[in-house]
Amino acid sequence: MKEEISGAEYPVVFEDLHKIYEMGNEKVRALDGVTAQFKKGSFWAIMGASGSGKSTMLNILGCLDRPTSGSYFLDGHDVSSLDDDSLSDIRLKYIGFIFQSFNLIPQLTVAENIALPLYYQGVDEGHSEEVAARFASVVGLENRLKHRPTELSGGQQQRVAIARALATDPVILLADEPTGNLDSTTSVEIMEMLVNMNKMGKTVIMVTHETSIAEYAQHRLLMKDGRIDSME
Amino acid sequence: MKINHSRIRRDFKLGLKNLLLHKLRSLLTMLGLVFGVGSVIAMLAIGEGASAEAMEQIRKLGSRNIIISAQKAADESGSSQDDVRMSIYGLLYDDAERINNTIPTVKATVPVKSMQHAARYGKRAIDLRVVGTTEKWFELVEREVIAGRVMTKRDVKNFASAAVLTEYGARRLLATSTAIGTGIRIGGNTYEVIGIVKSESSADGSMQTPDQMIDVYIPLSTAKEHYGDVFHQRKQGTNIRESVELHQLIVYVDEERNVEKTAEAIERLLALFHKKKDYAISVPLALLRQAEATKRTFSIVLGSIAGISLLVGGIGIMNIMLATVTERTREIGIRRAIGARRNQIVSQFLIETMVLSLGGGLIGIGVGVFIPWLVTIFAHMPTIVTLPSIVVALGISVSVGIIFGIYPAVRASRLDPIEALRHE
Ligand SMILES: Nc1ncnc2c1ncn2[C@@H]1O[C@H](COP(=O)(O)OP(=O)(O)O)[C@@H](O)[C@H]1O
Ligand SMILES: [Mg+2]
């Protein structure tokens, strides 16, 4: 019950998360006791030195990985020990990913890339085409529906990725260095787009090492040696 | 998640799209299956064509018949220069009686006395091939009556001067159905034409049906009375004198399973009364069985060849699919991150392999139909492309796709999404 309530207000709740990688005899504590809550509709930038555990945290956030111990409540559900299929279903329903290298499928068109998660949700073809067209115009690519990703600029590709992440109306948007492969002008464009999505109510959690990019977020979380150094 | 037809259709479309993206590679991948399937269908068609022809010939002889033919005993063949001596050989009238009366599994025997006589019908004069036999012939060798009637028991009993023309004989005599009731002279005796029966056409068969090379049938009793058993023939300047009672005996057995046993009994019985082996027993059923056994062996050899070529084709497909999976690791990672389940990745890649193998199978069917067609046109051999061979070949190629597609597909689905996304 308590989780239900906190789930509505805090879609992401971490309770004492640990992630330990065993490398032979050595143990790497990638996450070493992380407890945090992310409020609905907030925009977070996760920062920290290389190796501090940012990617590990994002992978667990995105249900691509499971913590060694501790609990992760996503929208009120404990997802820390689900099986592979259930994690797939959770990703499909709750999470939108935006990657540094865009990660579009080259043989699919812009429209097909945007519609890809809808395909896995079993949405029929006609409806998913409509949704794809709608989100393409949200990111300003209504004239590029039939194009292949390779025919687009980096900024345009990242906008396709944003449209794909939004297509299923996920609970959280996860962005991993979303401007890492873009020039500064395009980076501004993309960040403004993410800010807009956040203003429209999406919870956005972004990993970045650039302070200028982190400025766009309302909150900053600083990681250090697998622990939270500060949250503001 | 429920099975969704539109999703499967889309998976097929996607699979096709991915394969068309690398047309040459896909084609080369399919080549193994194309030739595997093509050669199976083609070889089966050629084999089927050849054996169907042979079996049809044998079947015409009757699977419940045993055919005993008169032949000169081995040590007598040298006497042909001696124009004084007469060769006496062949089956005896009594043989027919003995076989009929002592072997319980024998239902009927048909004696055949073959002769050649000068004949005249109207103004037409030619040599006719004459067979003296009984009414049993017409019971055993069912042939359509074109005009009149066939021989009866009474004709045989009454030594009737009655002749039944074969269609072929009638044509040679220039006789039509108006010949019924008119007279024909055969070897100096006059017969009444009582009927004309259809000839079994055996276009180019090596095997002879019983009624091939016959122009006219007369009652055996009449033949014996008119012509006796001794025949003179001048062949290449030599006088040939032969005494043969019966040239052939066709034995009709009550049940197919008794045929071989009966043939053995006949062999033993004849040996008692013939000092020399002046006859030959042939069992169409045994020939049929032999032909079937040959065909089976052929099929096994064929099956092994087909199996190997399909195996090679399958390994080719698996090889390419494994390469594809490696090449598309990133794509797999993306799909998994977005929320695709493992089994959806499996089905995606499996469908792709199936499209590949189905395509190979379909092209293979084209090849497999085309080759027999060429063989028939250029080698003038009969070929039969059977539907089952097509269905089986297609089924096998799709199964090959599934069997050899499963491993790459499962491997694709087992990739860790985090690792897969990091690929390249
Ligand atoms: N798959 C892995 N196996 C072993 N160690 C890992 C693995 N992933 C990350 N680590 C280790 O965990 C620590 C945190 O890594 P990571 O989360 O990638 O940090 P960041 O993204 O902040 O650079 C690092 O010391 C890294 O070497
Ligand atoms: Mg990292």
pLDDT band, residue B89 (cuts 50/70/90): confident
Any residues with CB less than 8 A from the CB of A124 and at least 6 apart, and which?
Answer: B6
Q: What are phi and psi of A221, to 5 degrees?
A: -120, 120
Of A143, A18, A141, A20, the C-alpha closest to A71 is A18
Closest residue to atom 17 of ligand 1, CA basis: A53
- For the residues B24-30, what does the mean pLDDT come to? 86
DSSP code for B200: P
Q: Over chain A (232 residues), what is each successive 10-residue block's mean pLDDT?
A: 60 95 91 94 95 94 95 93 94 95 93 95 91 95 94 95 95 94 93 94 94 94 94 84
CA of A17 to the centre of ligand 2 (A): 18
- For the residues B169-191, what does the mean pLDDT come to? 89
pLDDT band, residue B85 (cuts 50/70/90): low
What 3 state SS string does chain A have?
A: CHHHHHHHHCCEEEEEEEEEEEECCEEEEEEEEEEEEECCCCEEEEEECCCCCHHHHHHHHCCCCCCCEEEEEECCEECCCCCHHHHHHHHHHHEEEECCCCCCCCCCCHHHHHHHHHHHHCCCHHHHHHHHHHHHHHCCCCCCCCCCHHHCCHHHHHHHHHHHHHCCCCCEEEEECCCCCCCHHHHHHHHHHHHHHHHCCCEEEEECCCHHHHCCCCEEEEEECCEEEEEC
Give the long-range contacts of residues A17-21, CB within 8 A, separation 24 or more.
A17/A57, A17/A60, A17/A67, A17/A69, A17/A70, A17/A71, A17/A72, A17/A80, A18/A67, A18/A68, A18/A69, A18/A70, A19/A53, A19/A56, A19/A60, A19/A65, A19/A67, A19/A68, A19/A226, A20/A68
* Whether the predicted pLDDT of B265 surpasses 80: yes
| Residue B189 one-letter amino acid | N
How many interface pairs between A and B have CB atoms less than 8 angstroms apart?
63
pLDDT band, residue B337 (cuts 50/70/90): very high
- Tokens 């490398």 correspond to A23
Give the long-range contacts of residues B200-207, CB within 8 A, separation 24 or more.
B200/B60, B200/B143, B202/B57, B202/B60, B205/B53, B205/B56, B205/B57, B206/B57, B207/B54, B207/B57, B207/B58, B207/B60, B207/B61
* Whether the predicted pLDDT of B43 surpasses 90: no
Q: What are phi and psi of B130, to 5 degrees?
A: -110, 140
Rg (CA), chain B: 34
- Tokens 């009709």 correspond to B252
Buried b (16+ CB within 10 A) or exposed e, B108-124: bbbbbbbbebebebeee
Buried b (16+ CB within 10 A) or exposed e, B215-226: bbbbbbbbbbeb
CB of A83 less than 8 A from some CB of B: no
CB atoms within 10 A of CB B24: 7
Mutate to test the interface with A, among B8, B14, B338, B345 (most CBs of A within 10 A): B338
CB of A117 less than 8 A from some CB of B: yes
Domain count, chain A: 1
* Whether the predicted pLDDT of B149 surpasses 90: yes
Report residue A123 as tokens: 């949405």
pLDDT band, residue B288 (cuts 50/70/90): confident
- For the residues B7-28, what does the mean pLDDT come to? 82
CA of A58 to the centre of ligand 2 (A): 9
Q: A48 CB less than 6 Å from ligand 1? A: yes
Domain enclosing residue A76, as ranges = 2-231
Q: How far apart are CA B69 and CA B67, in angstroms?
A: 6
pLDDT of residue B315: 87
Q: A53 CB less than 6 Å from ligand 1? A: yes
Closest residue to atom 14 of ligand 1, CA basis: A53
pLDDT of residue B207: 42
A88 to B336: CB separation less than 8 angstroms, yes or no: yes
Q: Which residues fall inside 5 Å of ion ligand 2, going by CB?
A: A 55
- Tokens 């021989």 correspond to B151
CB atoms within 10 A of CB B153: 11
Q: How far apart are CA B318 and CA B315, in angstroms?
A: 5
What 3 state SS string does B144-183 have?
A: CEEEECCCCHHHHHCCCCEEEEEHHHHHHHCCCHHHCCCE
CA of B103 to the centre of ligand 2 (A): 97
More confident call, B31 vs B2? B31
CATH code of residue A11:
3.40.50.300
Interface of A with B in 119-138 (CB under 8 A): 119-122, 124-125
- For the residues B135-159, what does the mean pLDDT come to? 88
pLDDT of residue B167: 87
CA of B344 to the centre of ligand 2 (A): 29
Q: How far apart are CA B274 and CA B265, in angstroms?
A: 14
Q: How far apart are CA B227 and CA B295, in angstroms?
A: 46
Any residues with CB less than 8 A from the CB of B26 and at least 6 apart, and which?
Answer: B19, B20, B356, B359
Q: What is the Cα B124 distance to its own chain's centre?
A: 40
Interface of A with B in 138-177 (CB under 8 A): 164
B339 to A88: CB separation less than 8 angstroms, yes or no: yes
Of B64, B60, B50, B47, the C-alpha closest to B286 is B64
Question: What value does the mean pLDDT of chain B take?
Answer: 84
Q: A21 CB less than 6 Å from ligand 1? A: yes
Strands B248-253 and B65-70: antiparallel
| Ligand 1 atom nearest residue A56's Cα | 17
Which residues of B fall within a CB distance of 8 Å from A105? 331, 334-335
> Mean pLDDT lowest for which of A140-149, B98-107, B303-312?
B303-312
pLDDT of residue A140: 93
Whole-complex ipTM? 0.94
Q: How far apart are CA B124 and CA B122, in angstroms?
A: 6
Give the long-range contacts of residues B177-180, CB within 8 A, separation 24 or more.
B177/B146, B177/B147, B177/B148, B179/B121, B179/B147, B180/B147, B180/B148
* Helices B284-327 & B342-379 angle (0-180, nearest 10): 140
How many Å lie between the alpha carbon of A165 and the closest alpha carbon of chain B? 8
* Whether the predicted pLDDT of B2 surpasses 60: no
Q: How far apart are CA B381 and CA B51, in angstroms?
A: 11
pLDDT band, residue B235 (cuts 50/70/90): low
Q: A23 CB less than 6 Å from ligand 1? A: yes
DSSP code for B91: B
* Whether the predicted pLDDT of B59 surpasses 90: no
Domain residue ranges in chain B: 5-57+290-422, 72-277
- Tokens 């501790």 correspond to A70
| Ligand 1 atom nearest residue A50's Cα | 23
B335 to A97: CB separation less than 8 angstroms, yes or no: no
Rg (CA), chain A: 18
Q: What is the pLDDT of residues B340-389, one digit of tens each?
A: 999 999 998 999 898 889 889 999 999 999 999 999 999 888 888 989 88
- Burial of residue B142 (number of CB atoms within 10 Å: 0-12, 13-18, 19+): exposed
Strands B189-197 and B162-166: parallel
Sign of CA dihedral B45, B48, B54, B57: negative
DSSP code for B186: E
User: pTM value?
Assistant: 0.70
